[in-house]
Amino acid sequence: MSAVEAAGLVEAWKGEGPFAGVAPTDTAFDARREGAVAGLLEEEKRERRVSVLTHHVGPGRVTSAELAGGTVELETV
C-alpha cells in the first residue's frame, strides 16, 4: 500500500488537475531516522501522513526548468 492510498487521498488526486507534486530526494529520506518513513504508514499516524502528503502537492503545473530556476511558488493543498 502506498502512502497516498493509506492516507485516503487517491480519489482526491484523481480529480481535475493538473497537480504539481514535489518530493524529497533520496538523500533527504536517508537523513530521516530509521523507520520514520515506514512509521507514517501505521494507521495511528494517518493524520500526520495526510499532513505530510498534502504539504507536497498543489494545484497547477510546474516544470523542472521552473524548479531549477528557483522562482516557483506552489500553494500546497
Q: Does the reported pTM lie above 0.75?
A: no
Residue 71 pLDDT exceeds 70: yes
Instruction: Quote the pLDDT of residue 20.
Output: 85
Domain boundaries of the chain, sorted by first residue: 3-69
Alpha carbon of 37 to those of 3, 46, 72: distances in Å? 9, 12, 27
Burial-class residue 29 by CB neighbours within 10 Å (0-12, 13-18, 19+).
Answer: exposed
User: In terms of CATH architecture, what is 3-69?
Assistant: Roll (2.30)
Q: Quote the pLDDT of residue 5.
A: 85
In this predicted structure, the answer to whether residue 1 has a pLDDT above a threshold of 70 is no
DSSP 44: G
| Average pLDDT across the chain, whole number | 81
